[in-house]
Amino acid sequence: MNLFQIVPENFFKPLTSKYKNTYIDCLLLIYNTYKSELSFGVDKEIIIAELENYFDSASITEMIFDEDDHEIARDSRAKANAIIRRLKDSGWIEYELANDFKVKVNLFDYAATTIESFQKIIKNEELEYQSLVSQIHATLLNRDGYSKPYEYIIKRVLENTEELMVGLKKLNTNIKKYIDAITNEKSAGEIVQDFFIYHKDIGSKAYHRIKTSDNISHFRSSIIENLYAILNDQHLMHRAVQGYIELEQIADQVEAQDLLRSKILSIIAAFRNYDDIIAEIDYKNAKYIGSAVARAKFLLTNTNNAEGKISKILAYLADEFNADDTINLNDDVDDALLGIFNIFPQGFIDSDSLYVVPISRKMSLPEALGDNLGLSDAERALRKLALQERSKNRFSRKNINQYVETILHEKRAVLASTLPLESKRDLIRVIFISLYGRDKKSIYKTTPLDETIAANEFRFRDFIIERCE
């Protein structure tokens, strides 16, 4: 379903207006007013009074709404009514007439969900990874919940796993955000300050917890084992599929079973891939720390070596060009300054500078394919016979079994020394007979003897070839 089949098309219009910050504050205020109510419905006068108090303390002198022929709201009540009216027109709220003929302001369910997301973004609350993992683990160990395995077990585990993985991905993204921020133009003092802020807000909190107390590895093996136990229990899976069909409204039994199995396997895959996410977080964390230290070290360099001199030159040039905002490298400035930016490669010939000059190849059109490609029927038949003959002469277990079956015929056992030994191929066949005779898949078995046989310059220890019972 499309989003705008649920929310009105101008739903986000207030958030794109020049008073977007005011609209956000008013929406949060309205949402918080509903906390003590039984539903998302409050008397309109209560909402208006709350908004009036907000505008009384705000610094906005007047509000001009250009979309309504320059409507101007000067006092707090006019501003509150104007905000309420526009939120209603945009589909955030609606009016309802109660039994006592008082007008109530109802917040739509999708609007409440959107405002909840705004609050989470503003608060930037960190996810407690261990609490989620322990909930998943406790849910799987709750034997009473298996009376309805999908409703009480699998669905809750799936939701908590998705929330856990989203939280880890947010942490991964936040580290990247800090890495990008450190690469911007900042002084050494600002970099060092950001470095400690990073450790306080990211490194020492969320990142530190997932490496210590919130380490998922404490529960991961047990979680995966219990999920596989659900998959392998046919009776349990049957009841889970029935619950899935009833709750998710899936008509086809086979489809429901496949979907449920894939969901459980996706949970297992998520916990198995946990190490990959943590590895990327480790890499980005190390990259951030390395970038911060390297940049701060470069800016604090004050030595007479090459690195220190380059640092002083760049700092001097930055001060010169920043002294006047209108100056740039293309203006008429001191040639000594511009000359520094004429960077060009320098080199000298030595053993490391020699390289093979690449040979450019001319592109040419490919030749047209002829009509005589492929094999004729006769050639294909000959090729097939050759492959069959080659396969027949291989010392495979199947061919050796057939050969032993032939030499035994109606006999119980024969000696290896009685087999033909006229060529190297015959000796190789004897070796394979001895090797395959130790395998239970063969139709015969071999028993070694102490006697050594010499025939046609070949020597080997004799052994008995006898049919398996």
Q: What's the pLDDT at 190?
A: 67
Q: Which amino acid does the sequence have at 97?
A: L
Q: Report d(CA 460, CA 453) in Å as an integer.
A: 5
What SS3 state is found at 357?
Answer: coil
What distance in Å separates the CA atoms of residue 159 and residue 151, rounded to the nearest whole number?
Answer: 11
Please say whether the structural domain 3-122 has been given the CATH code 3.20.20.70: no
pLDDT for the residue 204: 44
Low-confidence ranges of the chain (pLDDT < 50): 203-204, 329, 343-345
pLDDT of residue 265: 92
Structural contact between residues 51 and 95, judged by C-beta atoms closer than 8 angstroms: no
Task: Name residue 42's beta-bridge partners.
Answer: 105
Per-residue model confidence (pLDDT) at position 343: 46
Closest CA to 111 of 80, 88, 95: 88
Question: Which pLDDT belongs to residue 154?
Answer: 92
By the 8 A CB rule, do 133 and 216 touch? yes
Which residues lie below 8 Å from residue 399, measured CB to CB, with a gap of 6+?
392, 393
Structure tokens at 314: 């760049």
Question: What pLDDT sits at residue 262?
Answer: 92
Residue pointed to by tokens 């294909």: 380
Largest CA distance in the chain: 120
- What is the enclosing helix (H) or strand (E) of 28? helix 20-33
* Residues in a beta bridge with 71: 65
pLDDT in tens, 22-62: 999 999 998 888 876 656 578 888 888 989 998 888 777 77
What span, in angstroms and rounded, lies between the C-alpha atoms of 235 and 218?
A: 29
Helix (H, G, I), strand (E, B) or coil at 310: helix
Residue 181 pLDDT: 62
Residues 47 and 104: their CA atoms lie apart, in Å, by 9
